[in-house]
Amino acid sequence: MEIQEEAKLDEGVARIFGIEPTQDGLQLDDMRQKAAISLAEYGRMLADLLEKSAVSIPPPIQLQWWQQGSRIKVVSENPDAERIEAVLNGAGDVVGKFKELEVLHEILRNTELAGVGTTENTHFNLGLTSTGPIAFFSE
């Protein structure tokens, strides 16, 4: 089925969600599923990288995007914070995928809050715990 040009999804949004730009719409459950799968995959990638670098969890690690340095920053108290930042920011694919994950979750959150709230003045956080990764927003 051919859909009208106006109904097409933005190509960037379609790529983030892994669908064809000509697909007829995107459901909130599809967005949630994509976010969950992406978070799990990214968590496994980070866990493998940190394990190879002899960084243990616990203690949990809380990460945010640091605008001033365009890099991942450890914002939780962690004795290995500097080493974790060096390992994560030294791997280009880790940095790029973090930013993609952040954008994905911001799109999802803004969609969920449409008409009732905003993500303005909030920060995307990625928590790495011994039970797996979690994504959340903080002020």
Where residue 92 falls among pLDDT bands split at 50, 70, 90?
confident
**The pLDDT of residue 91:** 83
- Is residue 88 classed exposed, middle or buried when 0-12, 13-18 and 19+ CB atoms within 10 A define those classes? buried
- Domain limits for position 12: 5-138
pTM given for the model: 0.77
Query: 5: pLDDT confidence band, cut at 50, 70 and 90?
Result: very low
Specify the number of domains making up the chain: 1
Q: What is the pLDDT of residues 80-91, one digit of tens each?
A: 999 999 999 998
- Asked if the peptide bond before residue 58 counts as cis, ω within 30 degrees of 0, the response is yes
Please confirm whether the linkage preceding 60 is cis (ω < 30° from 0).
Answer: no
